[in-house]
Copies of this chain bind each other. A is one copy, B any other.
Amino acid sequence: MFIGVDLGGTNIAVGLVDGKCKLKCQKSRPTKPERGPEPIIRNIINLIDEVIDHHGITKKEVRAVGIGIPGLADPKTGDVIQCVNLNWTHVPLRKPMEEALGIPVFIDNDATLAGLAEYEIGSMKGKSSGVFMTIGTAIGGGIIIGGKIHTGYSGIGSEIGHMIVGENFYDCNCGNNGCLETFASGTALIKYTKKLIEEGNKNTIIMEKIGGDIDNLNGKIIFDSAEGGDELANKAVDRIAKYLAIGIINVTSVIDPEVFVLGGGISKAGPILLDRVRKEVLKRRYFKTLPVGNIELAQLGNEAGIIGAAMLGRHSI
Residues of A at under 8 Å CB distance from B?
72, 81-82, 89, 128-129, 141, 143, 145, 150-167, 172, 174-176, 178-179, 246, 249-258, 284, 286-293
How far does the alpha carbon of A53 sit from the alpha carbon of B235 in the complex, in Å?
66
- Interchain CB contact under 8 A, B176 and A284: yes
- Interchain CB contact under 8 A, B164 and A254: no
Q: How many copies does the complex hold?
A: 2
What chain B residues lie within 8 Å of A156 (beta carbons)? 252-253, 256, 290-292
Contact A284/B164 with A153-B129, A290-B81, A290-B82 known, Cβ cut-off 8 Å: yes
CB distance from A307 to the nearest CB of B (A): 24
A249: which of B155, B164, B249 is its contact (CB, 8 Å)? B164
- Interchain CB contact under 8 A, A286 and B159: yes
Contact A89/B289 with A166-B178, A254-B163 known, Cβ cut-off 8 Å: yes
What chain B residues lie within 8 Å of A154 (beta carbons)? 256, 290-291, 293
- Interchain CB contact under 8 A, A254 and B143: yes
- Interchain CB contact under 8 A, A253 and B128: no
Instruction: Using A150-B255, A255-B255 as known contacts, list a sample of 11 further A-B pairs with CB atoms less than 8 Å apart, ordered by residue number in A.
Output: A82-B287, A143-B255, A145-B150, A153-B257, A157-B252, A157-B254, A157-B255, A158-B256, A163-B250, A163-B254, A165-B166
- Interchain CB contact under 8 A, A160 and B290: no
Closest to A290 in B: B156
- Interchain CB contact under 8 A, A164 and B250: yes
How far does the alpha carbon of A157 sit from the alpha carbon of B129 in the complex, in Å?
12
How far does the alpha carbon of A289 sit from the alpha carbon of B74 in the complex, in Å?
14
Q: Nearest 7 CB-CB pairs, A to B?
A: A152-B256, A157-B256, A174-B286, A162-B286, A153-B258, A163-B250, A254-B254
Contact A166/B166 with A255-B152, A256-B152, A291-B154 known, Cβ cut-off 8 Å: yes
How far does the alpha carbon of A292 sit from the alpha carbon of B152 in the complex, in Å?
11
CB distance from A282 to the nearest CB of B (A): 12
How far does the alpha carbon of A178 sit from the alpha carbon of B155 in the complex, in Å?
28
- Interchain CB contact under 8 A, A145 and B145: yes
What chain B residues lie within 8 Å of A252 (beta carbons)? 152, 156-157
What chain B residues lie within 8 Å of A287 (beta carbons)? 72, 82, 174-175
Closest to A154 in B: B291
14 contacts between A and B (CB under 8 A): A72-B290, A129-B153, A141-B254, A143-B254, A150-B255, A153-B257, A156-B252, A161-B253, A164-B249, A164-B284, A166-B166, A250-B254, A251-B254, A254-B255
